Structure 1
Amino acid sequence: MNFQKTIRSALAGLFFFAGLMSCNEQLKESARPRVLISSDIGGTDPDDFQSMIHLLMYADRFQLEGLVSSPYGEGTTKDFQDMIDVYEKDYSQLQSHAPALPTPKSLREITRQGQKDAAPFKGYSDPTEGSEWIINCARRVKDQPLWVLVWGGIEDLAQALHDAPEIKENIKVYWIGGPNKKWSINAYSYIAEHHPDLWMIEANSTYRGWFMDNDSPGDLKGDAYYENYIQGRGALGKDFINYYEGNLKMGDTPSLVYLMNGEPDDPSGESWGGSFEKIDRSSRNVFMGGSTVEDTVAAYAIIEWRFEGPDIAVPEDAVVFEIEIQNQTWPGYYLGKGTYGVKYSSKKPETGRYKTTSDIAELDGLEGAYVSIVPWPGKATSDDFQLGSNWYSDRQNPALYIGDQQGAKTISKYRKEFLMDWAARWKWLEK
């Protein structure tokens, strides 16, 4: 009888500790942020490949739920798959140090194709695999929000919000804006106007603190870090040299490291991914008939030109003219009732000039200019989009600038910490 009691007690103890271990595993799982990446990898800028290598080496720190290809140019899901192939070569060695790293197979299963073209004037078009995957992931019943980290165009997020606006309750967004905002201005405008209650970090310039290494120790400068800490380490290290000749850029990585330390639910706190302040409006300037160098706007603001012309028989949002700004060309749209429009956003403080071309005589050869300045969001105008209580952006304190890059020092101050942490992981791949 005593023997049976002893057995029962031992089994009860085993079940108790097994349950405790299971609970601990569940807690550990729930503590890892849920993450979906929307990236323009393979598009116009190769820095996303560098950021992808960093993500793969730290993927044990997250619950990765989606890899959405949202490029400008020729990028597709194949660019994700190619990087996963490289990761697979190092997977066993990396996993021996970080057992929670996801399998290459599981990463391939969550890769989806998103929008390849910029949104039309209205800011959205048709659903994609990527936008539907965002909705799918956001609707999963979980005990924490889905972090949507946007490394490129914001079209797929805009489409998801248009098709399923209720997902706003379940997501938090960190968007690398700046140049991406310029390319994605129609989709961004749609979100700011129609979904101002979104929880959003809009990093237009802070992210630059990741690679602006003016005050960095010599061994951590962008052109030295590869030689000192990456070269000769695994297939990922061999691949890294293919992007910017190994010089660090990785302008999208701040969105990821933002979740790795500090308190992500409080953007005003300290983090490797920057510190931000609330903004209550998104700067917008609407110019009827054009603008001149006398017209000053905030850098990163929505600049919208409206022109009058003939009332023509084409669908609204049809592209009927082009505008060249800073040696790049953008589509202009018919808005109906003889009104034409185009939007733009400067990626930095600048004096810009524009010129239109069109088969419509009234829209051909129009010229003008503008001056954009910091800080963002700048002086309030009646055209601004009013935002909700959870929209954050670059800090305006001049002491936190690097050059004219607003808020960049809130990241660069941690350069040694985050790069040496990564260097420790690169050592895992030493032979």
Structure 2
Amino acid sequence: MKKLKQILLISILLLTCKIGFSQFRIIVTSDFPSFPVTNSDPDDVQSIVRFLLYSNEFDVEGLVVSAGTFDMVADKKTMLAALDEYDKVDEILREHDPKYPTADALRAVTYEGKGNNNGIKIKWGCGKQPVSEIIGKGLDSEASNAIIASVDKPDPRPVWVSVWGGPREVAQAIWDVRNTRSEKETKAFISKLRIFLIACQDASHEWLMNEFPDLFIIESKKTYQGIFRSDSQEWVEKNIINNHGPLCAIYPPKAMGGPGVIEGDSPAFLYLVSALRGINDPEDPTQPSWGGQYVHKKGTKHYVDGLGGSTISKWKNDFQKEFMERADRCIKPFDQRRSE
């Protein structure tokens, strides 16, 4: 059976390459700070650098700036500032792969959620406030509406929502659908979502877990920490930050979790990268993957922590080698790399 699944996954990958789109549609929601970082955890900036270097392998349908961490603000100009740096290297990246999106294409799908700066008061963490204070009637945003529009597209592929900050925006999208559509339509909408939750960052996290047993959720409360310190500050300064162009230059050399590679949010998309390498079936999070290995919660479509952070850290040589190679793409023309 396992071999059959692997053959099927490879067949899907070959088909999607042939017809010209990625296997995976993805929306990233991040509590993305300004940089240099003063009011949040720098790990999101670390993760966005890596993610943008992998953007050729996804159909990126949304970059959502959501509320999170200290100030609980949502301001998309911070993500747009990161895309300004991507804009300076995207042409050379397309020499390596023409599927790298333009900066303008990514700007066009950058959306702002709601936070303490624009209409609601969100408390960080679970169990801190009633969910009705942060989602509900009239609390939709351009981000939550964009998530609905993405899922509603006549595209049979599911939408992977990679939740780095609070999940308020995807929760609001589901709330709006459940309260404006029939039960059958709501079930159809939910069936197209694949949500990867990093930590437990606001009250909507618990609401999603408790209210929707049929919603596909990977809940990484602690497993994501397996990526912490995959390499040192010296390693990232040598191989990523210094002499690798303006995008890599914004990679912070340390985050709240310490110096070097922290990137607690990156497992949410590395899970799909390893699937593209044929390592795991993304529909079965109990399998080993670069994003961790999870335990199925009986009676639901939820997958939760079980085997721990070592299920990520054991792959560090593989994903760090790729990261270093992709950082090199920002400065080395394709012909030069091919001749090495």
Report the TM-score, using the length of structure 2 for normalisation: 0.77
After superposition, residues 6-405 of structure 1 pair within 5 angstroms as: 27-42=18-33, 44-72=40-68, 73=71, 74-116=73-115, 117-118=121-122, 121-123=130-132, 124-125=135-136, 126-165=139-178, 166=186, 167-177=189-199, 181=200, 183-184=201-202, 186-213=203-230, 221-230=231-240, 231-241=242-252, 244=255, 247-261=260-274, 262-280=280-298, 388-395=299-306, 400=307
What is the CA deviation profile of residues 22-68 of structure 1, one whole-angstrom value per residue up to 9, with x for unaligned ones? x9777453442000111101162121111111111110000000111
Q: How many angstroms apart in 2 are the aligned matches of 1:422 and 1:29? A: 24
Is the contact made by 2:233 and 2:254 (CA closer than 8 Å) also made in structure 1? Answer: no
Q: How many residue pairs align between the two structures?
A: 280
| Equivalent pair of 1:229/1:426 in contact (CA under 8 Å) | yes
Where 2:273 maps in the other structure, the secondary structure is coil
Could you give the per-residue CA deviations for residues 287-334 of structure 1, whole angstroms, max 9, x where no partner exists?
xxxxxxxxxxxxxxxxxxxxxxxxxxxxxxxxxxxxxxxxxxxxxxxx
User: CA shift at 1:241, angstroms?
Assistant: 3.9
Q: Which residue of 2 aligns with 1:418?
A: 319
Q: CA RMSD for the aligned pairs?
A: 2.1
Task: Pick closer, same or farther for the CA change 1:79–1:246 going to 2, 3 Å.
Answer: farther
Residue 224 of structure 1: how far off its partner (Å) = 2.7
Cα 1:266/1:25, change in 2 over 3 Å? closer
Q: Quick check: which has more Rg, 1 or 2?
A: 1
Q: Secondary structure at the match of 1:174?
A: strand
**Structure with larger RCO (C-alpha < 8 A, sep 6+):** 2
Whole-Å Cα distance in 2 between the matches of residues 249 and 196 of structure 1?
31
- CA–CA distance in structure 1, aligned partners of residues 322 and 220 of structure 2: 23
Match of 2:181 in 1: none
Q: Distance in 1 between matches of 2:131 and 2:76?
A: 26
- Tell me the distance in 1 between the aligned counterparts of 2:323 and 2:253: 19
Task: Give the structure with the larger helix fraction.
Answer: 2
Change (3 A) 1:105 1:31: closer
Q: C-alpha separation between the residues in 2 aligned to 1:57 and 1:201? A: 24
Q: Which amino acid in structure 2 is aligned with residue 132 of structure 1?
A: N
Structure 1: how far apart are the matches of 2:252 and 2:243? 10
The answer on whether the counterparts of 2:32 and 2:78 sit within 8 Å (CA) in structure 1 is yes
Q: Which structure 2 segments of 5+ residues have no match? A: 1-13, 34-38, 116-120, 124-128, 179-185, 275-279, 333-340
Displacement after TM superposition at 1:115 (Å): 2.0
Following superposition, the deviation at residue 266 of structure 1 comes to: 1.0
Conserved? CA contact 1:49–1:243, under 8 Å: no
Contact 2:46–2:252 (8 Å) recurs in 1 = no
Relative to structure 1, the CA distance from residue 233 to residue 212 in structure 2 (aligned partners, 3 Å threshold; closer, same or farther) is: closer
What is the rounded CA distance, in whole Å, between the counterparts of 1:64 and 1:48 in structure 2?
A: 17
Please give the alpha-carbon distance, in whole angstroms, between the structure 1 residues aligned to 2:86 and 2:17: 26
Mapped to 2, the partners of 1:141 and 1:427 lie a distance apart of: 37
> After alignment, is 131-140 or 222-231 more displaced?
222-231
Normalization by structure 1: what TM-score?
0.61
